[in-house]
Amino acid sequence: MTTLQECRTRDAQDPLRSLRDHFSLPEGVIYLDGNSLGALPRATPARVAQVVQQEWGQDLITSWNKAGWVSLPQRLGNQFAPWIGAGPDQVVFTDTTSVNLYKVLSAAARVARADHPGRTQLVSERSNFPTDLYIAQSVCQEYGLELVLVEPEEIATRLTPQVAVLLLTHVNYRTGAMHDMAAVTAQAHAHGILCVWDLCHSAGAVPVHLLDANADYAVGCSYKYLNGGPGAPAFVWVHPRLADRPGATFAQPLSGWFGHAAPFAFTPDYQPAPGIARYLCGTQPIVSLSALQCGLDIFTAAEPLGGMAALRAKSLALTDLFIALVEEHCAGHGLELATPRDHAARGSQVCLTRGEGLGVQGVGSGAYAIVQALIARGVVGDFRKGDGGKHLDILRFGFTPLYVGFEDVWNAVQHLRQVLESGEWRKPEFNHLNAVT
Amino acid sequence: MTTLQECRTRDAQDPLRSLRDHFSLPEGVIYLDGNSLGALPRATPARVAQVVQQEWGQDLITSWNKAGWVSLPQRLGNQFAPWIGAGPDQVVFTDTTSVNLYKVLSAAARVARADHPGRTQLVSERSNFPTDLYIAQSVCQEYGLELVLVEPEEIATRLTPQVAVLLLTHVNYRTGAMHDMAAVTAQAHAHGILCVWDLCHSAGAVPVHLLDANADYAVGCSYKYLNGGPGAPAFVWVHPRLADRPGATFAQPLSGWFGHAAPFAFTPDYQPAPGIARYLCGTQPIVSLSALQCGLDIFTAAEPLGGMAALRAKSLALTDLFIALVEEHCAGHGLELATPRDHAARGSQVCLTRGEGLGVQGVGSGAYAIVQALIARGVVGDFRKGDGGKHLDILRFGFTPLYVGFEDVWNAVQHLRQVLESGEWRKPEFNHLNAVT
């Protein structure tokens, strides 16, 4: 049985504790939704003001060179690359996850068509984040592939020589379950299948070793664990053996001027830039990109404190603690653990399910209402609706080791216990399912 | 012969004069590059600070609904739609011009393939902005079309039943020459050709009547005349007869979740949203989008002062004055007018050429050096390199009627005269062509 005092002791001994001071969090809030929108770094407002007032307002167009706007996607990519096991000049921050996924899936489909003509399938998980499946549908339509959706336990048996591309999200957004990237990639490669990894719930949250895993393509967002701000530009990584593949056929289809070998030569013919730069397209939102840098700077500050190994150790300690405390303090209220107990298969979030029929009449499981009641108490998690079948309603809690502490976990569980024991989640104001986003 | 006093009188009588106070321009600068990067609205820093510190920092994920982040692309689109002759719910601000162009060119290619199978060409202008041609190349490769590049005077004769899509930039970035959108669209439609218009140098600068012209698709950027900030999100408009065309085949290929009919239902199948919303894709950069609103608000403030008719009248008066003063005060230095004198064919910029061989040894025409010498004096225009053939080096000066005045024009021309007469442009520091962007 863990006590509040033990939680405080763990916070006091936490080597990453000082990183919390890099964030500006609202008073009285325990923020367990950094896997949806990361918190505001303290440095961001001043940096954004500088970009807007000085670089834009005073220096105007000269800032494209003088302030380095033109290379911001690359500079941020290089700053963050080590955190996903990528090399220099292999990552750019640009556009959105959906757009970047379109680029890499298209590129993969082209490579597969050239190297393994006749392959007919693009395999992904049925519970993948929907936008990934929507983009995959479009790419399948364009390249004459069939989109085959499978359950996670079926993946290994569905990797056959019919498959051109495997698209997986490393950490599942609903359950927090994590794939073994190296093992799955090796299985896929054994059948000549290209692997595309979505790192939205991994980047900055769990160790990722793209080069070591020998992955082919990866994308991810920066507004979750990277704390880049709402809708901050996403990233894209491509293994150099594929990024540099010669011939316009193997460039990605969004062939805008920022991905040109000589963007300011203004020549009428598209010539893809070497390497990852060809995955750039149009002019990027500089204010949003600049804000992102403050989020990445906190990772740089975490390096001398132990880097990703320390972040991962704390993340697992936080999620272990949350699981143990929920099971100890909230038993008997129908909550079940949806996230793997196995550390190797767990991301940085804990998801709980609640059986259908446990809620108040007409609103299903009560999971939505419980989340709303917690938010009213200042404990911010989120709710993901079930599909009425295998996937139940989910209460989702993200644990960002940069700013969540052990006492936060204790307090969050006490609030959850009180919400459940008092029955306050049954109040009508917490049961408006239409308000769900 | 116009005098300085007359310029001052015109400023004093300018009904739009008060709009200049909505901008924060650097001291001592005459900014004639708003066609590259618009100036900073005074309201933007506070708005951005509010979004960052309150909406993100304090209200966190609740701002997606509470602050209306989720509908920002549509709300900004509706605010600006009247300025391009579009109706409500027909415009969204999102992504980049290049990405939006890819969406609409792909959609047009799909419609053409269905309605006029066998058409083989996509026609554009050889001097179109390069990224437009690069994107067109990619779309042509995907849809089996030939990209045919022509000179502006050839367009009419090249509109044949072989042509699927015509892609034109309304106002040319190099010369400031403007097409007659209604006339060209009617010519194209007479042959069953779909028209895609790039409004990057038109939106907010010249009258645009998309619905009246019966255009099919349009895109444009917001960091030039709309003063949205560096890399601010672009816009896309599609005629309702095409945007609502049923069937997934006619949706654009970047099928991300924000373009889904029910983005938060998290269903695995893509169902395009009705109308222009299906041209959204991923999660948008909220900080950059919010900054853009301050630029659009100045257009709203311009409405009671005469709206686009007043802006256009002033823009033509400014460019007329600049042309007249250059010809009067700067004669004999090899400058030629590249922008049409005909009002109906002129955008909101004036471009001058300078013959090859007039510069100092080894740096061509001297146009680059003259622009650099002007910038050193606080007169900011820009330089566009020639192609060594028909297209000469260009000195480009944009006249934004929101913040440029008649005395500014007088002073700019006096600086140009002094730069030319004194020969200061010949100084080595102004002749580093490699520094050009």
Q: CA dist B242 to A49, A192, B183, B249, B275, Å?
A: 41, 41, 20, 12, 8
> Quick one: B296 and B320 in the same domain?
no
DSSP secondary structure letters along A30-77: EE--TTTSPPEETTHHHHHHIIIIIIIIITGGGHHHHT-GGGHHHHHH
> Quick one: B318 and B392 in the same domain?
yes
B223 is catalytic: yes
Task: Please name the amino acid found at residue B338.
Answer: A
Strands B217-220 and B194-198: parallel
Last-in-domain residue among A300, A327, A344: A300
Last-in-domain residue among A239, A272, A300: A300
Pick from A108-117, A249-258, A374-383, B91-100: least confident: A249-258
> Quick one: A290 and A320 in the same domain?
no
A396 is catalytic: yes
B198 is catalytic: yes
Instruction: Work out the average pLDDT over B277-281.
Output: 96
Q: What's the angle, vertex CA B368, arms to CA B364 and CA B373, rounded to 5? A: 130
| Residue A372 DSSP label | H
> Which CATH number fits the domain that encloses residue B157?
3.40.640.10
- The Cα–Cα gap between A373 and A183 comes to 41
B129 is catalytic: yes
Q: How many independent structural domains does chain B possess? A: 2
Instruction: Work out the average pLDDT over B13-23.
Output: 97
Cβ(A226)–Cβ(A295) below 8 Å: yes
Which residues of A sit in the known binding site for pyridoxal 5'-phosphate? 97-98, 129-132, 169, 198, 201, 223, 257, 283
- The Cα–Cα gap between A159 and A168 comes to 13
Q: CA dist A172 to A207, B67, B299, Å?
A: 15, 28, 44
B319-366 pLDDT, tens digit each: 999 999 999 999 999 999 999 999 999 999 999 999 877 887 767 889
> Quick one: B235 and B363 in the same domain?
no
Q: Give domain status of residue A112, yes or no.
A: yes
pLDDT value, residue A50: 98
Length of chain A as a residue count: 437
Q: Give domain status of residue B24, yes or no.
A: no
For chain A, say whether B266 makes contact (Cβ under 8 Å): yes
Instruction: Work out the average pLDDT over B193-208.
Output: 98
A139-181 pLDDT, tens digit each: 999 999 999 999 999 999 999 999 999 999 999 999 999 999 9
What is the edge-to-edge ordering of all strands in the sheet holding A91-93?
A91-93, A235-238, A217-220, A194-198, A163-169, A121-125, A146-150
Percentage, residues of chain B above pLDDT 90: 89
Residue B436, pLDDT above cutoff 50: no
pLDDT value, residue B244: 85
Residue from the list A33, A256, A289 with its beta carbon closest to the beta carbon of B60: A33
φ and ψ of A215, to 5 deg: -65, 165
φ and ψ of B30, to 5 deg: -105, 110
| Residue B52 DSSP label | I
φ and ψ of B390, to 5 deg: -65, -35
Radius of gyration from C-alpha coordinates of chain B:
22
Last-in-domain residue among B255, B276, B300: B300
Cβ(B197)–Cβ(B212) below 8 Å: no
Q: Give domain status of residue A31, yes or no.
A: no
To the nearest whole Å, the CA of B6 is away from the closest chain A CA by 29
Comparing A285 with A266, which gets the higher pLDDT?
A285
Q: Give domain status of residue B25, yes or no.
A: no
> Quick one: B86 and B229 in the same domain?
yes
- Tally A–B CB contacts below 8 A: 273
> Which CATH number fits the domain that encloses residue A390?
3.90.1150.10
For chain B, say whether A54 makes contact (Cβ under 8 Å): no
Instruction: Work out the average pLDDT over B241-252.
Output: 79
As a whole number, the mean pLDDT across chain A is 95
> Quick one: A197 and A311 in the same domain?
no
**Nearest by Cα to A378 from A333, A408, A403:** A408
Residue from the list A59, A233, A437 with its beta carbon closest to the beta carbon of B285: A233
Instruction: Work out the average pLDDT over A321-349.
Output: 97
φ and ψ of A201, to 5 deg: -100, 15
> Quick one: A418 and A344 in the same domain?
yes
Q: CA dist B152 to A8, A348, B114, B137, Å?
A: 73, 57, 28, 19
Structure tokens at B19: 């709009």
A387-399 pLDDT, tens digit each: 777 788 999 999 9
> Quick one: A12 and A67 in the same domain?
no
> Quick one: B133 and B158 in the same domain?
yes
Residue from the list B36, B44, B95 with its beta carbon closest to the beta carbon of A99: B95
Q: Is B235 annotated as a binding residue?
A: no
- The Cα–Cα gap between B308 and B204 comes to 8
Cβ(B99)–Cβ(A254) below 8 Å: yes
> Quick one: B279 and B347 in the same domain?
no
> Quick one: A412 and A290 in the same domain?
no
A59-103 pLDDT, tens digit each: 999 999 999 999 999 999 999 999 999 999 999 999 999 999 999
Task: Please name the amino acid found at residue A287.
Answer: V
- The Cα–Cα gap between B298 and B225 comes to 11
B402 forms beta bridges with none
A402-432 pLDDT, tens digit each: 999 999 999 999 999 999 999 999 999 998 7
pLDDT value, residue B248: 53
pLDDT value, residue B265: 82
φ and ψ of B311, to 5 deg: -60, -45
A49-61 pLDDT, tens digit each: 999 999 999 999 9
Q: Give domain status of residue B278, yes or no.
A: yes
**Nearest by Cα to A290 from A234, A236, A232:** A232
Cβ(B223)–Cβ(A283) below 8 Å: yes
Residue B367 neighbours by CB under 8 Å, 6+ apart? B352, B353, B354, B359, B383, B392, B393, B394, B395
Long-range contact set of residues B426-429: C-beta below 8 Å, sequence gap at least 24? B426/B360, B426/B366, B426/B369, B427/B369, B427/B373, B429/B372
Going by pLDDT thresholds of 50, 70 and 90, the confidence category of residue B268 is: confident
pLDDT value, residue A435: 43
Which of B95, B198, B382, B393 is catalytic? The answer is B198
- The Cα–Cα gap between A431 and B410 comes to 66
Cβ distance of A257 and B288 shorter than 8 Å: no
Cβ(B164)–Cβ(B113) below 8 Å: yes
Going by pLDDT thresholds of 50, 70 and 90, the confidence category of residue A250 is: low
Instruction: Work out the average pLDDT over B280-305.
Output: 98
Percentage, residues of chain B above pLDDT 70: 97
Instruction: Work out the average pLDDT over A240-248.
Output: 82
Q: CB B434: neighbour CB atoms within 10 A? A: 4
- The Cα–Cα gap between B177 and B182 comes to 15
Q: Give domain status of residue B88, yes or no.
A: yes
Most confident among A234-248, A355-369, B175-189 (mean pLDDT): B175-189
Q: Which residues of A touch B49 (CB under 8 A)?
A: 45, 48-49
To the nearest whole Å, the CA of A1 is away from the closest chain B CA by 33
pLDDT value, residue B267: 84
Distance in Å from the first CA to the final CA of chain A: 36
pLDDT value, residue B250: 65
Structure tokens at B91: 């415009």
Residue B5, pLDDT above cutoff 50: yes
For chain B, say whether A260 makes contact (Cβ under 8 Å): yes
Could you report the predicted ipTM of this complex, rounded to two decimals?
Answer: 0.96
Cβ(B293)–Cβ(B76) below 8 Å: yes
| Residue B131 DSSP label | H
| Residue B57 DSSP label | I
Residue from the list A53, A60, A221 with its beta carbon closest to the beta carbon of B45: A53
Percentage, residues of chain A above pLDDT 90: 89
Instruction: Work out the average pLDDT over B375-380.
Output: 97
Pick from B60-74, B96-110, B387-401: least confident: B387-401
A279 is catalytic: no
φ and ψ of A298, to 5 deg: -70, -35
Cβ distance of A96 and B281 shorter than 8 Å: yes
- The Cα–Cα gap between A340 and A351 comes to 9
Residue A362, pLDDT above cutoff 80: no
Q: Which residues of B touch A61 (CB under 8 A)?
A: 33, 36-37, 380, 382
Q: Give domain status of residue A27, yes or no.
A: no
Q: Give domain status of residue B22, yes or no.
A: no
Pick from A298-302, B193-197, B384-388: least confident: B384-388
Going by pLDDT thresholds of 50, 70 and 90, the confidence category of residue B179 is: very high
Give me the domain span that covers residue A427: 4-16+307-435
- The Cα–Cα gap between B138 and B136 comes to 5
Strands A121-125 and A146-150: parallel
Residue B13 neighbours by CB under 8 Å, 6+ apart? none
Instruction: Work out the average pLDDT over B175-199.
Output: 98
Helix A367-376 with A406-422: angle, nearest 10 deg: 120
> Quick one: A320 and A388 in the same domain?
yes
Q: Which residues of A touch B64 (CB under 8 A)?
A: 37, 230, 437
